[in-house]
Amino acid sequence: MKYCENILETIGHTPLVKLHRVTAGLPCPVFAKVESFNPGNSIKDRMAVRMVEEAEQKGLLKPGGTIIEGTSGNTGMGLALTAVIKGYKCIFTTTDKQSKEKVDILKAVGAEVIVCPTNVLPEDPRSYYSVSARLAREIPNSFYVNQYDNLANRDAHYEQTGPEIWEQTAGKITHLVVATGTGGTITGTGKYLKEQNPDVQIWAVDSYGSLLKKYFDTGEIDMSEVYPYITEGIGEDFVPKNYDMSVIDHFEKVTDKDGAVMARRISKEEGIFVGYSAGSAVAGLLQLKTRLKADDVVVVVFHDHGSRYVGKVYNDQWMMERGFLDVKTVRDVVNGRRNLPLVTISPDDKVSDAIGKMKKFDIEHLPVLQQDELIGAISEGGLFNKLIDQPELKEQPVRNIMQKAFPIVAMDTPIEKLTVYINKENGAVLTQDDSGNYHIVTKYDIIQALGN
């Protein structure tokens, strides 16, 4: 029989997957180290076990103890799984910018989660750093993991992630790209790779609102660089001890929008359901494409799984509210064509009149208007079926064969949402502009808009 003694034995040996569509503009092959294959769905499982086991060896964590940590979610998951197997309790602090899914997942595996404000300094007693440190002082038999300054974090990647990538690329890797936060992944992995080949380039991706790039470039901790940002899991407002900046060759900043949009592209175009930081990492790599050559071999770390961002990055409304999603609306369709008046028909007109208007204006749909009130509609498809069986209907009034009026939607409705209204039975919707004029949007209009 082949089996694992417990879930922790499944950590590591994650696949290296070649990217195709999102990196099509690059001159060299790019591979993703897909860390969502770990049992906790992120790269943080590696260092979580390593930090706990080192604490046990040093006598810092005793049987029945409590693991305490400040986490953006993924480290907490790795620690929680470790705690389940080893019999510890967990208390985690996190920030209010983290997705609800992350908090719910931590609770699902038995952790207590305390949500703290994002927009405070690390030393502020309300910050998730300060709250976790205070709890560790107050709770007997507890261990404060402190992934930021705990060097077992980077040791895990030196011992595991680096050797895996080196072996999987047969030593051909030339560039490692990591969207970095605590510094453990990029420092540990980068250190191992550079020991094998000093020419390997280690590129860090940072977020606007983080001070890491400025510190890397100047050695200065500039708090004016720090401001709230939306990207999760990367960037910092201080410099964790896990960083060894001598290992890193370049820092590149990526906007919140570019990271989110790219995460969605990776999921749709590569079939790899990724988290926010993977989008940032690939977006940063594309910004650096002029530095790459045809014989380079690039590895990008995909830290975690997209399931933790379904309420944010993968939620259209959330993306639109932040201006991250370039969505075409009904207004765009109306503004993008000639401003012709809406062609309508009266319920008392003959069906033959309606047919005549459809031919004259080359249209398929006619709203039925009575004293400026929309009371029904006629469509070419519906007319065809009825006239085949009953040709004499041509002399009947429109009101005898009209269907229900077309639905009216707001001008700012995304065209992707119109599938709720436009279907086999109903071929169009109406909308009203700011002047009160009606406009019609058909299936053909939507196809045209989506094709541009």
Residues with active-site annotation: 44
For residue 79, the surrounding DSSP H or E stretch is helix 74-86
CA-based R_g, the chain, Å: 29
C-alpha span between 28 and 240 (Å, rounded): 33
For residue 156 the two structure tokens come to 């895990």
C-alpha span between 236 and 204 (Å, rounded): 13
Strands 201-207 and 30-34: unpaired
Render the burial of 165-187: b for 16+ CB within 10 Å, e for the rest.
Answer: bbebbeeebbbbbbbbbbbbbbb
For residue 412 the two structure tokens come to 């700012």
Q: What is the dihedral of CA 317, 106, 189, 309, to 10 degrees?
A: -10
C-alpha span between 69 and 77 (Å, rounded): 11
Is residue 397 helix, strand or coil?
strand
Work out the end-to-end distance of the chain between its first and last CA atoms, rounded to an integer number of angstroms: 56
For residue 383, the surrounding DSSP H or E stretch is helix 380-389
For residue 80 the two structure tokens come to 């929680």
The pair phi, psi for residue 205, each rounded to 5°, is -110, 125
For residue 177 the two structure tokens come to 């790209």
- Cβ atoms of 372 and 393 within 8 Å: the answer is no
Sequence-distant (6+) residues with CB within 8 A of 450 are: 328, 415
- Cβ atoms of 113 and 95 within 8 Å: the answer is no
Is residue 380 helix, strand or coil?
helix
Count Cβ atoms below 10 Å from residue 89 Cβ, excluding itself: 17
- List, as one string, the DSSP characters of 35-67: GGGSTTSBTHHHHHHHHHHHHHHTTSS-TT-EE
> Residues 281, 282, 283, CA angle at the centre, nearest 5°?
90
